[in-house]
Amino acid sequence: MASRSEPHPHRPAGSIRPERSPAIEAAATSRSKVQAVLARAQESGLIARKGGRISGRVSPELIERAKARTGIRSDTELVEFALANLAIEDDFADTFRGLRGTVDPSLDLDF
């Protein structure tokens, strides 16, 4: 293992972190969102008991794209994430849109 003073063998000297591709960044963001949504659902008691059952037919392409976008592999976890995402929605976008034009025009925002 290289010491802190020696450069990493796969990185240019002086670099802290290699550049990540947009796909890798998106995957990391998706995993963070999935974890955050499921954690919030757990805290809210929404996924404590798992006795409910849901069944339906959906496009295989929809399932594969959703799994690719979220990083989720299990159909059950994908459905749980999708439902939790809807159940804990905070309506931020609607609230934000509703506030449009409510800032006093005379307020100096230093722009």
Break the chain into its structural domains and give their ranges. Answer: 56-96
pLDDT for the residue 32: 87
Contacts of 28 (CB under 8 A, 6+ apart): 20
Range name among 4-18, 19-33, 37-51 with the lowest pLDDT average:
4-18
State mean pLDDT over 77-93.
Answer: 88
Angle at 36 between CA 34 and CA 39, to 5 degrees: 105
User: Distance (Å, rounded) from C-alpha 102 to C-alpha 76?
Assistant: 43
What are the start-end ranges of the H helices in the chain?
22-43, 60-70, 75-87, 92-98
Looking at residue 7, what is its pLDDT? 53
pLDDT greater than 90 at residue 90: no
1 pLDDT more than 50: no
Distances from the Cα of 109 to the Cα of 62, 90, 96, angstroms: 44, 27, 18
Summarize the confidence of residues 30-45 as an average pLDDT.
89
Of 7-16, 65-74, 100-109, where does mean pLDDT reach its minimum? 7-16
pLDDT at 31: 84
More confident of the two residues 43 and 7:
43
Mean pLDDT of the chain: 80
Residue 8 token pair? 């990493």
